[in-house]
Structure 1
């Protein structure tokens, strides 16, 4: 080949490559645009485990996208009050929130399904229902009415039943008790004589200290010790039957979410799933030492009396059936949820419950 022809051809090819290279840049930019969102949490920064779950998600998302998709996390009150997180996402004041869906049952009791129903699913069952049992699809169909899409964003495991100034020896002792309690638990306890109060986490301690309320529930030993409830109420009850496996959610403005490239939606789903796993693992570790610490400080642990549980159980399912008869949104989720709960309970009684019952009895016997 003539050397001059070869060099000319090479130069032409090189020029073509030089021209072609910049053309690839817009395509890359379109598939991986720089996206910056703001997320408002419903929780204060002082509750590091529950607030920190959103930070776990944000960090994982940034790392998965080489910093192209970033979500800045703000504690409750910094952008909007914690109880207004859903409204802020719905109205696109922020693109995202980390919150408990049952905070919004005043809009529609159906919001409770995404978090927890009294005597409902434990944490593993809740995850199974949401991820593989069709639950998340039902939740997002409902959320679409509020311009919201969502992903599971953490679970505490079964919570404690709360702090009481006076001992509860029977269901009669609940008559007239003013109790801070969220979600459907408050509606159910009304049937037992409780007067539910809606108070944000940061305001609970002073209300309990001043006697504005007689009792409160929050999460469990780790968070409850940080909030100092043991200093003003010594009777600590279990289980929190209204929150057997409460799930938090990452809520996203639906229009903003649908604008995301498919790769970003996948990265967001993976980051949220990691956060969902990490939150419960952290609680399971931190509660170990916190419950010992609380008992060492003079806290008295009590199981709720059986008549309290029985009365609450009956009241719960009366409420569910009443809602199903009058609220189409509730019924659409309740019917498949009820079937899943029944079948899940049947399976868990076979292996899980048998194993747990035996080994815990051995441990309690000192073996």
Structure 2
């Protein structure tokens, strides 16, 4: 009997009754490795990659698995871009501004001093031109990116001594993440770019005078308050730092349409979950830190003003020497202006009122 004729004339019920199985095109199993820039002990920020991997596995029915590796297991924390670009790993989870030394534009995909808050950053990425512009840039590195979490506005860090005015910043050796160091340097500080897992020993030994990481929940785990009692706010260099999943372009292109959709959905889920965890966990941690003797302080006004001016000067200089920066920052800065106008009348006013109430 002719198989094709049987299927055409009998339909699926007749085929099954006749014992002739139709052809089934099962998807081949996919196994990827993800290199994180963070240690496992930081369950919030490292955990975003785990959330992503768990979602990919669940949505694919176990046919697509991503193994997650902490910083140092497959490669150093700051080696992940090279790893993804070269194809030695399929993907990474990192803070793009770690790699501003390759090109300052990496910082625009994460956070720049006096940039966007977390909601504004997500709006720029998903509904503005952010994702489009950053993907055009990352294509030079054989990378496609997906938003992979946000910490929300960060704290300003831990200091051995009080910072009462701008002059106290002069000569201060400060571990500061990513692009913020360029501005710190312009106001007299000495920036140090150190991976999260190496900050405590450097602070303990006196190699650095101050350090910032993220916020109360992570900082409490890392124990910075034991050796640097002054806890400053806000982290003006990180109003809404976005992490990214960096994926090797060829690896992504090789996926089926279904698996590409799974990657996109899993990344978006991890993006939302990560900040939700920080927002839920930070308040209790902050109360515990202050209850334990940590001295909470705002940065002095003259330091904030000097840093803002230095940042704007820096961005102007980059516009004249980095064409990619000029293109992306023009869109970024316009979006920031519009967002600040909107938030001024809504979010900010509501927040100020609520924070003044005794609840």
Report TM bin, short chain: over 0.9
1:59-138 alignment, distance < 5 Å: 59-138=54-133
Q: CA RMSD in A?
A: 1.5
**Equivalents in 1 of 2:302, 2:219: separation in Å?**
26
Matches within 5 A, 1:1-367: 14=15, 18-21=19-22, 23=23, 25=24, 27=25, 29=26, 32-362=27-357, 366=358
How many corresponding residue pairs?
Answer: 349
Secondary structure of the structure 2 residue equivalent to 1:37: strand
1:103-122 Cα shifts (integer Å, max 9, x gaps): 00010011001110100100
Normalization by structure 2: what TM-score? Answer: 0.95
2:6 match: none
Q: Deviations over 1:216-250 (max 9, x none)?
A: 01000010110110010000000000000000000
Structure 1: 5+ residue runs without aligned partners? Answer: 1-8
Alpha-carbon distance in structure 2 between the residues aligned to 1:182 and 1:19: 63
Q: Deviations over 1:274-328 (max 9, x none)?
A: 1000000100111111101111111000000110100000000110111011100
Do the aligned residues in 1 keep the contact of 2:155 with 2:215 (CA within 8 Å)? yes
Q: What secondary structure sits across from 2:46 in the alignment?
A: helix
Q: Which TM-score applies when normalising by structure 1? A: 0.93
Q: Is the 8 A contact 2:178 2:193 kept in 1?
A: no
Instruction: Name the CA distance, whole Å, in 1 between partners of 2:64 and 2:198.
Output: 34
Query: Structure 2 vs 1, CA of residues 319 and 17 (structure 1 numbering), >3 Å: closer, same or farther?
Result: farther
**C-alpha separation between the residues in 1 aligned to 2:37 and 2:333?**
29
Distance 2:181 2:162 in 1: 19
From the superposition, tell whether residues 239 and 15 of structure 1 become closer, same or farther in structure 2 (CA, over 3 Å): closer
Whether contact under 8 Å (2:98, 2:179) holds in the other structure is no
Separation (CA, whole Å) in 1 of partners of 2:18 and 2:263: 35
Q: 1:102 aligns to what SS in structure 2?
A: helix
CA distance in 2, matches of 1:309, 1:209: 27
Q: Specify whether residues 17 and 342 from structure 1 end up closer, same or farther in structure 2 by C-alpha distance, changes over 3 A only.
A: farther
Q: How far off is 1:16 after superposition?
A: 9.2
Higher helix share: 1
Question: In the aligned structure 1, how far is the partner of 2:104 from the partner of 2:265?
Answer: 29
Residues 15/76 of structure 1: CA separation in 2 closer, same or farther (3 Å cut)? closer
CA–CA distance in 2 between the matches of 1:359 and 1:267? 39
Unaligned runs of 5+ in 2: 1-8
- In terms of Rg, which structure is larger? 1
Aligned partners of 1:184 and 1:44: how far apart in 2? 21
Checking the alignment, whether the CA contact within 8 Å between 2:150 and 2:241 is kept in structure 1 is yes
